[in-house]
């Protein structure tokens, strides 16, 4: 008698994924001895104090020839002086646009401890706002078991834990991406454009969504985005001065070669690990920048460019999809921007909450391919948990350790390509977002999760 191995049902895969996120959260919460550092917030806070005193002050004083994220602020720089005045020993160089420091000026008037606590509250509020916005396209009530699962799964993701720990801005970017995606899905094009323009003015990588709207011929969105971005840069030009904008451009240019440290999860790091033959610590990554291998940088850019172009071709292939499908493609491209960016620290993947929520909701409503379900499960697991990263501490062959450390990037590449490809298939049935959430992914009419309870 032949035994047949059945592929797990979507509900089972989803349940196992949520359980793994929760177990990862418990492992970090109770077994990781590292404490909240607020390292990134301290840089924002000191930069805001500089701008509050002198808007045209030099926020980027340092060695323009070296990667700014490898350096602490020079002792004579305005940021270092503000750090000492706030009771901090040292801070890293500021590598964000001046707008972030400008927006945080009100916090700079508080004591460091008060500002840090307020920033943590703002980050939690941004996470909750993003989830509330997602509840609408997911068609789930804010007072329901489904929303509780969504909230728990999002909060337990490792990138969210790190963003809160370091005081990062990525949760604010998550909220802006959520506004951009959900507003576009609802037909509020100008609101979507402004949200993503603001996200671009805070961190440059969202600019990579422009080709999508050219493909979709969304003229109103393009005008709203370019107009908003022009206005934001005009404000920085007038308030911070043209010199600050020029220094910012020099700073991000110095970061263009990447920084292949273990926690920098992007294609550039993966290529560097493969070339080096082993994983790199923070110091090892800093030392590797001294090798000056232009051909390796060009190879990395070529790999990133090919991946990005493949995704754009697949978006063009599915260009006739409805607004829900286009908004989901926009959410998927947010993952692409992280992979092709030369710097995407692990906490940057908080944005993955949006495509994961949309795709899991769809997978629980409509029948999807086994490949799609498998890649969605693996991508959520590898990005949302710490297990693979911790396994790299085991005495394993270097090739295996590189594979484990790069599992999030590899699974993201495969998942986004597969998801965009299936959306362009002629027989693809529209995304199940916005329909009743069924017990399984079959097309049986049916019960909802609430009635099943």
User: Which of the 8 DSSP states describes residue 348?
Assistant: G
**Rounded (to 5) percent helix, strand, coil in the chain:** 70, 0, 30
From the list 174, 434, 192, 196, the residue with the least C-alpha distance to 322 is: 434
The answer to whether the CB of 385 falls within 8 A of the CB of 24 is yes
Higher-scoring residue by pLDDT: 379, 79: 379
User: Residue 1: which residues within 8 A CB-CB, separation 6 or more?
Assistant: none
Supply the pLDDT for residue 444: 38
The terminus-to-terminus CA distance of the chain in angstroms comes to 37
Worst-scoring range by mean pLDDT, 44-58, 148-162, 279-293? 279-293
CA distance 88 to 159: 26
Confidence band for 295, pLDDT divided at 50, 70 and 90: confident
Supply the pLDDT for residue 442: 38
Token representation of residue 109: 């008037």
The answer to whether the CB of 430 falls within 8 A of the CB of 325 is yes
Residue 115, pLDDT > 90, answer: yes
Supply the pLDDT for residue 198: 96
The answer to whether the CB of 82 falls within 8 A of the CB of 61 is no
Confidence band for 7, pLDDT divided at 50, 70 and 90: low
pLDDT over 70 percentage in the chain: 88
Neighbours of 305 (CB within 10 A): 12
pTM for the model: 0.90
pLDDT over 90 percentage in the chain: 57
Supply the pLDDT for residue 210: 96
Residue 434, pLDDT > 80, answer: no
Supply the pLDDT for residue 1: 40
Query: Could you give the C-alpha distances from 204 to 99, 248, 422, in angstroms and in order?
Result: 12, 11, 29
Query: Could you give the C-alpha distances from 59 to 204, 281, 351, 428, in angstroms and in order?
Result: 17, 28, 27, 50
Instruction: Write the secondary structure of 211-223 as one string of H (helix), E (strand) and C (coil).
Output: HHHHHCCCHHHHH
Supply the pLDDT for residue 427: 58
CA distance 231 to 249: 18
Mean of all residue pLDDT scores within the chain: 86
Helix-then-strand count for the chain, H and E: 23, 0
Per-residue pLDDT of 52-101, as tens digits, reads 888 888 888 764 555 556 667 777 778 888 888 888 877 788 888 999 99
Average pLDDT on 106-112 reads: 90
CA 51, 54, 56, 61 dihedral sign is negative
The answer to whether the CB of 386 falls within 8 A of the CB of 33 is no
Residue 223, pLDDT > 80, answer: yes
Supply the pLDDT for residue 419: 94
Residue 433, pLDDT > 90, answer: no
Reported in sequence order, the residue ranges of 192-271 that DSSP labels E, i.e. its strands, are none
Higher-scoring residue by pLDDT: 79, 293: 79
CA distance 201 to 194: 10
Question: At 292, is the secondary structure helix, strand, or coil?
Answer: coil
Supply the pLDDT for residue 414: 97
CA distance 322 to 182: 14
Worst-scoring range by mean pLDDT, 11-20, 73-82, 220-229? 73-82
Per-residue pLDDT of 247-272, as tens digits, reads 888 888 777 777 888 889 999 999 99
Query: Could you give the C-alpha distances from 225 to 103, 138, 172, 178, 337, in angstroms and in order?
Result: 20, 26, 18, 16, 17
Higher-scoring residue by pLDDT: 424, 221: 221
CA distance 24 to 391: 13
Supply the pLDDT for residue 54: 82
Token representation of residue 243: 């010199």
Neighbours of 126 (CB within 10 A): 21
CA distance 246 to 63: 14
Supply the pLDDT for residue 261: 87
Question: At 70, is the secondary structure helix, strand, or coil?
Answer: helix
Confidence band for 211, pLDDT divided at 50, 70 and 90: very high
Supply the pLDDT for residue 355: 96
The answer to whether the CB of 352 falls within 8 A of the CB of 381 is no
CA distance 391 to 245: 42
Per-residue pLDDT of 145-165, as tens digits, reads 999 999 999 999 999 999 999
Residue 130, pLDDT > 80, answer: yes
Question: At 448, is the secondary structure helix, strand, or coil?
Answer: strand
CA distance 241 to 48: 15
CA distance 400 to 1: 37
Average pLDDT on 225-229 reads: 96
Residue 445, pLDDT > 90, answer: no
CA distance 145 to 168: 29
Supply the pLDDT for residue 260: 86
Give whichever of 79-83, 138-142, 426-430 has the largest mean pLDDT: 138-142
∠ CA(213), CA(219), CA(225), 5° rounding? 70
Supply the pLDDT for residue 3: 44
Confidence band for 439, pLDDT divided at 50, 70 and 90: very low
∠ CA(247), CA(101), CA(258), 5° rounding? 50
CA distance 199 to 103: 13
CA distance 329 to 289: 35
Residue 335, pLDDT > 80, answer: yes
């Amino acid at each position: 008698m032949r035994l047949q191995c059945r592929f797990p049902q979507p509900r089972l895969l989803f349940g196992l994924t949520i359980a793994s996120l929760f177990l990862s959260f418990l492992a970090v919460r109770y077994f990781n001895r590292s404490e909240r550092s607020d390292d990134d917030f301290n840089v924002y806070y000191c930069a805001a104090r500089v701008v509050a005193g002198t808007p045209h002050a030099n926020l980027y004083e340092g060695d323009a020839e070296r990667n700014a994220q490898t350096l602490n602020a020079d002792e004579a720089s305005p940021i270092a002086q503000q750090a000492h005045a706030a009771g901090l020993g040292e801070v890293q160089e500021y590598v964000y646009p001046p707008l972030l420091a400008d927006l945080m000026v009100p916090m700079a008037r508080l004591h460091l401890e008060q500002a840090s606590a307020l920033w943590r509250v703002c980050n939690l509020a941004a996470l909750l706002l993003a989830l509330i916005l997602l509840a609408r396209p997911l068609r789930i009530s804010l007072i329901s078991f489904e929303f509780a699962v969504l909230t728990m799964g999002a909060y337990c993701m490792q990138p969210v834990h790190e963003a809160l720990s370091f005081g990062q801005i990525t949760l604010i970017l998550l909220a802006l991406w959520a506004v951009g995606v959900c507003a576009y899905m609802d037909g509020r094009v100008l609101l979507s454009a402004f949200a993503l323009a603001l996200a671009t003015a805070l961190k440059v990588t969202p600019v990579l969504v422009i080709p999508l709207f050219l493909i979709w011929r969304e003229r109103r969105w393009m005008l709203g985005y370019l107009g908003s971005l022009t206005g934001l840069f005009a404000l920085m030009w007038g308030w911070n001065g043209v010199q600050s904008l020029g220094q910012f451009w020099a700073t991000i240019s110095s970061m263009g070669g990447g920084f292949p440290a273990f926690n920098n999860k992007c294609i550039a790091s993966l290529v560097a690990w493969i070339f080096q033959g082993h994983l790199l610590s923070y110091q090892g990554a800093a030392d590797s920048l001294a090798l000056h291998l232009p051909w390796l940088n060009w190879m990395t850019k070529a790999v990133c460019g090919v991946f990005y172009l493949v995704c754009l071709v697949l978006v063009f292939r599915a260009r006739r999809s409805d607004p829900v499908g286009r908004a989901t493609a926009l959410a998927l491209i947010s993952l692409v921007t992280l992979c092709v960016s030369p710097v995407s620290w692990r906490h940057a993947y908080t944005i993955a909450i949006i495509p994961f929520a949309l795709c899991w909701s769809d997978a629980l409503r409509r029948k999807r391919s086994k490949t799609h379900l498998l890649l969605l499960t693996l991508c959520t697991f590898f990005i949302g948990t710490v297990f693979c990263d911790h396994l790299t501490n085991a005495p394993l062959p270097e090739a295996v350790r590189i594979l484990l450390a790069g599992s999030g990037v590899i699974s993201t590449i495969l998942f986004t390509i597969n998801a965009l490809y299936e959306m362009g298939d002629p027989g693809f049935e529209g995304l199940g977002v916005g329909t009743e959430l069924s017990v399984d992914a079959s097309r049986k009419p049916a019960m909802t999760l609430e009635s099943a309870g």
